[in-house]
Structure 1
Amino acid sequence: MATMHAQVVAEWAWWIGLLLGGVPLLALAVWHCNDVGHCAAFAMRRWRRRHRRARLPPGHTGLPFVGESLALLWYFKLARRPDGFVDARKRRGRRSSQDGTFGIRWPAPELVGVSCVVNVDGSQHARLRGFILAAINRPGSLRTIAEVVQPRVVAALRSWADKGTVAAATEIKKVTFENICKMFVSMDPSPLTDMIDGWFAGLVAGFRAFR
């Protein structure tokens, strides 16, 4: 009886040890395996290209296959704090900007203003975002947008079908810009809107080139 009792105790001790030791180690390995894979691939590429000073940005790359989707769902659906997900990564980006891993934040406040919606945080960002959503996310606004956008999208799809092969990114940008011109300045597609499209592309390139 004593021997059987000792065997039971030993078996329970083995399972408890496995639970307390093996499971955390397995979880730790799963948590960091994506990071290890990315770091190894980056190190090989850096070694081949002789870019000795190149470094990966800080942060965790998430779980295998799902990345940071679970954290995103937690902040958006359960915690109801979507800004928390973004702010944590912005803080890492700011630290890496200070040590030279990244350049300046984009778009630069000197170009679009310090109070632009993409350059403010916290309550100020939430207030500006609320104004934007209130203007475009109401049923009446959505109905107006659909009435303008849908015919143009249908016409674009038909023209793409007739062409057979198209550059998807270019065509989608063109349709999007035409819809923007119609919605905001009531301009139909014309040679003038094509010129404005080219000017806008140059403007965006200038924004991105600013250092």
Structure 2
Amino acid sequence: MDVWLSWVLGFLPILGWLLWWWNDLWYAAPLIFRYSGTGTRLPPGHMGFPVFGEIISFLWYFKVLRRPDDFINSKRRKYGDGVGMYRTYLFGSPAIIACFPSINKFVFRSSDKFIQKWPSVELMGYTSLVAVHGKAHARVRSFVISAINRPGALRRITEMVQPRMVAALQSWAQKGQLKVYNEVKKVKSSKLIN
């Protein structure tokens, strides 16, 4: 009995440690070894348990506490604010959380290095901004930006959106308690009568 108990008590901590570090060993360790001599480093972070990763703590902050920023703030407190990027494992895949606007700007402008994929291209269209990559993406993005960033275009957009938002805010003030998701869907789908 003592031998069996010592095996169980000795094996369980090792198994727990291995499960706790599994995603880091599986995803991060090969990258660390591959780029060890180049001075390139992975962002700090912990990728959590296999399959789940950090989704439990993520959902805790988002759904239970209703303070989503605290998930990122916990990483900032743990790993320091100077990096601005943290590695994690969410929704079944490794991920990097970028906190600084300059990092996000670099990622969004480097479409050739960071390809974003949507679950269904048919949803947005094959020639939409989210479906094209490389030079085609840069061309479509420049068309959209030039159409939106002109003062006349911004004025027309504001004239269309402002009455809708004022009406929605007035109705929300009268309702008292409301479900934001349902109300935003109503505002988004309502038609303006000119």
TM-score by length of 2: 0.48
Structure with more of its chain in helix, by fraction: 1
Structure with more of its chain in strand, by fraction: 2
Higher-Rg member (1/2):
1
TM-score by length of 1: 0.45
